[in-house]
Chains A and B, each alone.
Chain A
Amino acid sequence: MGFGRSGRERILGMDLSDLIEVQAIMPALKANSKKQLLQLLAERAAAITGLPEREVFDTILQRERLGSTGVGNGIAIPHGKLPGVKSITGVFARLETPVEFESLDDQPVDLVFLLLAPEGAGADHLKALSRIARVLRDPDTVAKIRGTRDAAAIHALLSDTQTSHAA
């Protein structure tokens, strides 16, 4: 599906800086299971948004029941809608050791982008998800993220992928 690729990138942008802040990045997380991973992500998301941790956890777990959000190549993008979220909010984790995530390609996951959206964010929510999937599909970006334990560096990589992707 090569059509309009450049056009789509122009419109969607390859910059995730509006979705995630530096303090939402966990550069060296340790988790033993998918469930624990989701719990840790929910914990951080709760701290940022001020919502109850349980509510966040239940929302993303509900989505996982529909089918794993592991998109392959060690990457997962759990997501969900919550009434209390003010704006689209992201949390990112880089795992020290990969955990099993029931991904399509059966590979364990070590890079996770959690995305929470307000009820009624509609198209913006889905567009944000596509952007994340697209950015994390770039092998260069992903390799660089895996190679660092610095939150600010990861944030910079997620924010500025234009140059690496254009190659």
Chain B
Amino acid sequence: MDQAIYLATLVGTALVLAAAFSSLIAFRFGAPLLLLFLAIGLATGQDGLGIQFDNAPVAYFVGSLALAVILFDSGFGTPVNVLRQAGLPALTLATVGVAITAVVFGVAAHYLTHFSWLESFLLGATVASTDAAAVFFLLRAGNINLRERVRSTLEIESGSNDPIAIFLTLTLVEIIAIGVNPEAQLLFTDLVVGFFVTMGLGAAVGMLGGFAIARLVDWLNLDRGLTPIFVLTLSLLVFAAAGAIGGSGFLAVYLAGMVAGNSDIRGAAALKRFQGGMSWLAQIIMFLVLGLFATPSQFPGLLLGAITLGLFLIFIARPLAVWLCLKPFRLPSAEVAFISWVGLRGAVSILLAITPLLAGLEHGRLIFNTAFIIVLVSLFVQGWTVGPLARRLGLIVPHRAGPIEKVELELPGSAHHELLSYRVVPGSPVLRGERLPRWARPSLVVRNGGSMKFPDFGKLMAGDRVYIFVHDRYPALLDRLFTSRVDVDPEDAEFFGAFAVDPDRPASDLEAAYEPGLTEAEQKMTIGELFLSRFGGHVEYADRLNLGPIELIVRDMDEKGKITAIGLSFEPTQPQPLVPENLRERLRALFGRGDGTMSSRVSDEA
């Protein structure tokens, strides 16, 4: 018995270590890391080194728990203000988008494979949700600073679409397992009613749970080392409780994370670090287990069909769903194109594909294998191209500030202050004569190994390390003062526009100079106000406003969100069309009149 334990642990740890090491390689080459984990699982599985693992219930159980951990972490790290900005488009994608993807894909699957209609839709449901964990890893690895709205939309979508795909899959599995062929209408009512009950219960338990987690952490004042474990356990409790009463555990745990993470929870930084680590571990374990569980020797026969389906999903089903869902929000077509492309499928799809096996469906193995290949196709094709595409579409915000050397220390017992430590770097504004605000007076300066107090240190010098106690609202401003200057890349110069425009000048001046076609009312505003009004009152750094022949770009904002500098470009970004022009025409004919928001932005250079 002992020997078995040692052996299992040995194999398990070796696998996790191999995966962890492979992350180094992935960071180097920008390869989709999750593909690597999956590959390690496959390579050591029964068709590779020969580890026998064919236990569907265990694979599903482990995968579900891992997913719960990941979802809690991703909810915890999603700030609520992001919801305001991207919530509606993202939630539309996560609900309607998932349904459209599943249905469109299901129709194709029915004609391309031998699956029945229900089985085809089941396959569609398993691959309908996106796995953005993979994407964000890629973006981070490539040091890609994505535009905020795009990032938020993708983040919220990926966090919230899993529960819906899970719900669809489980319902379809049940229906097929019962074996009767239900009437379409009955099926539809069943789905809709079931949807609201499951999601409603999940949401209720999740919100309550998140609130409870935050309060408990505050009340109990546990040992600092224990708190993260406590929170992790509570999150799994929320997951289980919601599931036990018939709600969506996955939605519950995601929402619980979001509520807890946004509620000034004690020790948030430590919790984030811990959960980040757990999230990694969960990803690794989930992919390893799923890789081990698959049997590639069964693939060859269905390879062609599955790859075709994978490509159909990437090039038709997902873009169509995204385009339909985002149409009402009038996002720039570059953003729509990017969001379409970042429909990476991942562990959740494979996990869901196990459920037909669990239910003992006739074609369960076949469904699992097909879904598995589709995920591989997606990780290969999309995983490798996300970074370059973002660059091509101009969605990357160039870094305007150099690195800062900063350490944040959380203060025990303090509600709203933190201790920041910066190293004064050459070329930073503080050295170029910018004054530190009164509230940011350094409490201590370490210079040449000696420590000095105010006012003994006099003027700050390069190489000084300063310690500042500051209210937690202000660090962003301080970062600016301590950041080193970067030279703007020529390409970046274009990103922010070659010319400058004063946001406080009247917009009528702009009309006089360039005839962008402003309305009478708009000409009475300042240029800054014009920007705000066209953006519905909320503008962020690097936002672009297309005004016919010219384009305005937010170059800088102050900490209160007021635009302080605007760039002017005469080469409005004209992203290339997402789908071939004639196909778009046909689609438009199919779905009635287009209002031209997409077509008017299509490049005439393309």
Contact = CB atoms under 8 A, between A and B. Distances in A.
Interface of A: 1-4, 7-8, 11, 62-63, 65-72, 77, 80-81, 104-105, 122-123, 126-127, 129-130, 133, 137
Contact of A2 (B391, B493, B499, B569): B391
A66 B575 contact: no
Contacts of A122: 515, 549
Contacts of B26: none
Contacts of B509: 62, 65-66
B488 A72 contact: yes
Main secondary structure of the interface of A (DSSP, over half): mixed
A3 B394 contact: yes
Contact of A67 (B490, B495, B499): B499
B49 interface: no
B490 A137 contact: yes
A88 to B, nearest CB: 13
B576 interface: yes
B500 A67 contact: yes
A83 B499 CA distance: 23
B575 A67 contact: no
Given A3-B392, A126-B570, A71 B499 contact: yes
Contact of B575 (A3, A8, A81, A127): A3
B392 A2 contact: yes
A126 B499 contact: no
B500 A68 contact: yes
Contact of B491 (A2, A77, A127, A129): A2
Contacts of B357: none
B359 interface: no
B605 A63 contact: no
Nearest to A138: B490
Contact of A127 (B495, B502, B512, B570): B570
Nearest to A79: B513
A80 B515 CA distance: 12
Nearest to A11: B605
A69 B499 contact: yes
B497 to A, nearest CB: 9
B230 interface: no
Nearest to A72: B493
Contacts of A67: 499-502, 505, 566, 568
Closest 9 CB pairs between A and B? A126-B570, A1-B394, A67-B500, A67-B501, A133-B498, A3-B392, A130-B570, A67-B502, A71-B498
Given A71-B498, A129-B570, A130-B569, 7 more contacts: A1-B391, A2-B391, A3-B576, A65-B509, A67-B501, A105-B488, A126-B549
Contacts of B576: 3-4
A69 B514 CA distance: 14
A114 B550 CA distance: 19
Interface in B459-498: 488, 490-491, 493-495, 498
A66 B510 contact: yes
Nearest to B492: A1
Nearest to B487: A105
Contacts of B570: 126-127, 129-130, 133
A72 B488 CA distance: 10
B116 interface: no
A77 B499 contact: yes
A105 B603 CA distance: 32
B502 A66 contact: yes
Interface string B99-114: 0000000000000000
A137 B605 CA distance: 22
Contacts of A65: 502, 505, 509
Contacts of B571: 8, 130
